[in-house]
Amino acid sequence: MRLPPAIIGHAEEVLREILRFTGPADGTLSRYFREHPRLGSRERGVIAEAIYGLLRNKSVYTSFSESGSGPAMRRLTLLGLADAVGVDSLGGLTEEETAWLERVMQIDRSHLPVTMKANMPAWIWDKLNTRFGEEQALALTTSLNTPAPLDLRVNAIKGNREDVIASLAQAPILAEPTPYSASGLRVIKKPSIQNLPLFKDGTIEVQDEGSQLLAQLVGARRGEMVADFCAGAGGKTLALGALMRNTGRLYAFDISEKRLAKLKPRLARSGLSNVHPVVIAHEKDAKIKRLSAKLDRVLVDAPCSGLGTLRRNPDVKWRQTAEGVAELNVKQASILASASRMVKPGGRLVYATCSILDEENEDIVNAFLAEHADFTLVPASKVLAEQKVELEMGDFLKLYPHIHQTDGFFAAILERNK
């Protein structure tokens, strides 16, 4: 069935706005769809798929769009739509456009230059190529340019994996246990789960398996005092609360009231009563100082480039800059130093990012350890064994989509000397 010709105009209009890179693509798309309520669910789905495909493969599409005729933005839009649904599904094409698209779609992309196949800004590709070598860097970028599966976390306060798998099967939604996280499920295909009773009652939460593992690395136990230092919308906070079996005290700190507001409905669904959301002005807020040397565990999921999440947010690579990462490095070091003051002797601090760049990861941790003799690095391999997670790692947790089928994550476990 052919799509109405108006789809091309809508896709072109929203693409033009997204390519200004003034804000996240998902927010721009959501707003556009709200402003155009007459677009049906199929049309919205096709536009979103075309836009995300374009953002993933922008280097290739930009090169291809230099052939053909007519306005450049329309040519880009047509390439995204043709890749999403096929040339035959597009209504409103001229004969010339149809012939051009059919010709371009037949190009063997395996013969393209490696920098084009990577579909990354040059500064990111150069870093990854230097770090991993061309073959591994290309495997990594290829996986980062592939849409992520849907991962769920089963809330242990409300259910177990086996029962949830059986319940989902009746929907019918197929899911299988994730290989590393004991509470994770990977859903086959990508169904909508917002209206499922399991979601509404807090038995399941959407959370990448890698993110679930970060919570496990914290090793929070019953009755402990714990903080999620950059809690955001609280995915890891909820995972920590469940691991603590709803006991002890769990602080969810964030500088954004708006982000913490998103935690409130999730918290209500989760059945957790041990979580205390706290808005702070900055990482040196007096509320932090009052907890000096009092906490058993602190998770610092630091603000970062987000380059490990490109499977979900492909626009990030085009919005992020090398200068922006350098500014983040200063913030990351300051946040880690401030959060460390809350850790009591014998307590643990986990520094984590969803980045794949050394300067946001090992470099920050090594600089911290050089300045803080009272902290020691605990090998990730040791902590994973403690948590009974069968995953081979060295000193740090490093997760990559092409190896572990998770988003790109980094974590270091630091223990304060007794």
What is the number of alpha carbons within 13 Å of residue 191 lying toward its C-beta? Answer: 16
Q: Give me the helices (H) in 285-321, please.
A: 286-289, 316-319
Distance CA 127, CA 130 (A): 5
Closest by CA position to 365, among listed 333, 319, 330 = 333
- Measure Cα distances from 2 to 85, 105, 190, 209, 256 in Å: 10, 18, 23, 38, 44
Say which DSSP state 107 is in. Answer: S
Closest by CA position to 167, among listed 190, 209, 199, 212 = 199
Residue 272's SS3 state is: coil
- Residue that the structure tokens 């903080």 belong to: 227
Distance CA 356, CA 368 (A): 19
Closest by CA position to 11, among listed 61, 64, 73 = 73
Closest by CA position to 49, among listed 89, 4, 81 = 81
Distance CA 389, CA 405 (A): 16
Active site residues: 354
Distance CA 162, CA 176 (A): 9
* DSSP output for 330-343: HHHHHHHHHHHTTE
Distance CA 187, CA 206 (A): 10
Question: Residue 125, Cβ neighbours under 10 Å: how many?
Answer: 20
Residue 88's SS3 state is: helix
How wide is the angle at C-alpha 29 spanned by C-alphas 1 and 326, nearest 5°? 135
Residue type, 379: P
